[in-house]
Amino acid sequence: MNANDITRARTAAATQLEAAGIVLTDHERATIEVADFGLSDFDRQGLALVVYANTDRYCGKELVLSAGQTCPEHRHPPVPLPEGRVDPGKMETFRCRRGTVYLYVEGTATPKRHGKPPVHSESYYTVFHEIELKPGAQYTIPPNTLHWFQAGPDGAVVTEFSSTSRDELDHFTDPRITRVPDPA
Amino acid sequence: MNANDITRARTAAATQLEAAGIVLTDHERATIEVADFGLSDFDRQGLALVVYANTDRYCGKELVLSAGQTCPEHRHPPVPLPEGRVDPGKMETFRCRRGTVYLYVEGTATPKRHGKPPVHSESYYTVFHEIELKPGAQYTIPPNTLHWFQAGPDGAVVTEFSSTSRDELDHFTDPRITRVPDPA
């Protein structure tokens, strides 16, 4: 993404957060994380994030998706920790604040689904148990569980409460994906 | 607190959460936790809470204070865990969503402070380093650190991102306090 693309994505995310009643500082607004997962297809597969805190004990974020935008399928694998323990993998609670998000996790495929894997990327989407989240609804994704999510036609804002986030260790089903935060 | 007091407190908290743009389910609204800390003085020393998630890894809550209401001074002590490790004590990030909250932590006393310990309880308030939090501002309280907080004249809503919550183990400076969730 070039600088203009990133600015446009940040502005759109800031507008949605404001519509959700979520206040950001100027610095936060100017540094919203814009993730295109290296696919150069942000409007269809991408995510904007505001990370409030990411400590060695917990993490707190806002996730923002534009209309129909998809966060690609991935899981958070176990991580050996320096002190000898093993972190079983990031566990996360999604709390929907605005719009609608369709979350897909491992389990029985939901027969009639609202969301659809992005065209030409279908083979990298393998779990289809649908959970519909509207404002006030939430879902907790267990560690090391495949999941992907897609916003409804009005986009979506989700507050994420979770264990420590280590994005660089996430495992994506699509082998083209490299989860490196955009340098801008 | 009797059933009427609790209903009144829940209604007031729900109204503030709605003003902050935070959507609750009917069940959440009807079961907002109302804490008077056993002091029977809820309007001055008390707190309303919505606990979204409290797992063995992280916790997420909304905290709601009415105008001038104070959450009494306390700390979250280290906790020995069954597997032999020691949890160093709850660590928490307060993110202000609405109104103003004055947070007091250990450190140099702020000379001109906005908040004041509740009358007749002054001796149970011992830390006076003030942090003012308005919407968009946040602060992370280290484990085992004394803190108390008080809302400004419009009340306050705070999202708390934290490590696991074990309220029953909190240590309050005021020896009259027993932190038992209201049974209602």
ipTM, two decimals, is 0.95
Q: Do B161 and A25 touch (CB under 8 A)?
A: no
B183 has a pLDDT exceeding 60: no
Tokens of B67: 């105008």
A13-63 pLDDT, tens digit per residue, is: 999 999 999 999 999 999 999 999 999 999 999 999 999 999 999 999 999
Task: Flag if B159 and A60 touch (Cβ within 8 Å).
Answer: yes
The chain-wide mean pLDDT, for chain B, equals 95
Identify which of B145, B128, B51 has the alpha carbon closest to the alpha carbon of residue B90.
B145
Interface residue ranges in chain B relative to chain A, Cβ cutoff 8 Å: 20-25, 28, 52-53, 55, 57-60, 85, 91, 93, 95, 97, 135-138, 140, 159, 161-163
**A97–B23: do the CB atoms touch at under 8 Å?**
yes
pLDDT average, residue stretch B140-155: 98
Residues of B in contact with A163 (CB under 8 A): 57-58
Interatomic CA distance for residues B80 and B87, integer angstroms: 6
Beta bridge partners of B132: B102
Are residues B58 and A136, on separate chains, in Cβ contact within 8 Å?
no
Q: Which of A25, A60, A91 sits opposite B55 (nearest CB)?
A: A91
